[in-house]
Amino acid sequence: MRLLRTTLALISLIAPARLAAQDFADLIKEVGAVSFSMSCWSERGAVERRGCPSKEVDYGIEVSYPVTKVPFPWSHNKTVAGEWKPVRKEVINKNGKPDTTTIYEPAEDTTIMSSYLLVEVAVGYSQFSGFSSVDPSFELKGAVREIPSVSIYGTLSSDDERSALKHFKLRLGLRSGLIQLWDVQANDPINSTTFDTYSGIAHTFQLGGVAAFAFAYKKELYPFVEYSWMLRKFPSVQWSLPEAHTVPQRFPRELDFTGPSLAFGLRINIK
């Protein structure tokens, strides 16, 4: 009985890990594209940026999953029969010798569309920094992270190699997700050589629209430029210092990064 309990306990620990690994593998198989980008952003309120491109890190990565193709009313569509593909092998005895037979099945038919809207869902991560305080009496530094962002895109596309939509892509979308202050500090000078370092924490949701234009450098590589306008306002920033009981009143109680941003990047199509 003790051995049985031990075996069941081990199975209960191993099975979820295997299921999680299988789910992750299935998730990777469905990836349609991976995008890398660097961005310039605007600011308002108590912060200002240090230039564009920033001397600090302003980067992002995004993984896209195709959902469906929505043909336009004027699209010319044709169906191409799927090719036969091997699915398994069977071994039988023939005259006392093993004989291997390959079993084929037809693949699904493919619909070729001259113009359609490609609907995708994307999960991304980005971080931007390089901002400082408009109040010169203290130093403000740190970063803002997406953890993560979730976007829905619609891209004008075509399966026709002769179509301009095959080589040039226009994408519109909506983006949201949780963002947080990361390692944000306010350095308050005490004298010419020392200062107190206050830590700032805050979380909020972002929301905005995205428009991007890309062209096919190669079949799988699409350099792109993306414009977005995002609502990114931290309405309540908490400042703390272990040995301090009060926080200087001049420290901002909210940080607002709402506004436009411009990103340049590379999209790598996998499917």
The 10 Å Cβ neighbour count of residue 41 is: 21
Strand 238-240 with 59-71, pairing: unpaired
The 3-state secondary structure of the chain reads CHHHHHHHHHHHHHHHHHHHHHHHHHHHHCCCEEEEEEEEECCECCEEECCCCCCCCCEEEEEEEEEEEEECCCCCEEEECCCEEEEEEEEEEECCEEEEEEEEEECCCEEEECCEEEEEEEEEEEEEECEEECCCCCEEEEEEEEEEEEEEEEEEECCCCCCHHHHEEEEEEEEEEEEEEEEEEEEEECCCCCEEEEEEECEEEEEEEEEEEEECCCCCEEEEEEEEEEECEECCCEEECCCCCCCCCCCCCCEECCEEEEEEEEEEECC
Residues in a beta bridge with 10: none
| pLDDT, tens digit (0-9, with 9 covering 90-100), for 42-91 | 666 667 655 565 555 578 999 999 999 999 999 888 877 767 778 788 77
Domain boundaries, given as residue ranges, for the chain:
40-76+114-269, 80-112
User: What values do phi and psi take at 50, rounded to 5?
Assistant: -100, 15
The CATH number of 40-76+114-269, from 2.40.128, 2.40.160, 1.20.140, 2.70.70, is 2.40.160
Per-residue confidence at 98, pLDDT binned at 50, 70, 90?
confident
Residue-wise pLDDT for 6-56, tens only, equals 434 443 444 454 444 455 566 677 899 999 999 887 666 667 655 565 555
Per-residue model confidence (pLDDT) at position 35: 96
Q: How confident is the model at residue 235 (pLDDT cuts 50, 70, 90)?
A: very high
CA distances for 160 relative to 68, 110, 111, 121, angstroms: 17, 13, 11, 23
Instruction: Give the whole-angstrom CA distance, residue 80 versus residue 77.
Output: 10
Quote the pTM value. 0.76
Taking a C-beta distance cutoff of 8 angstroms, is the pair 135, 250 a contact? Answer: yes
Distance CA 8, CA 249 (A): 59
Q: Which residues, 6 or more positions from 27, have their beta carbon under 8 angstroms from its beta carbon?
A: none
pLDDT at 6: 45
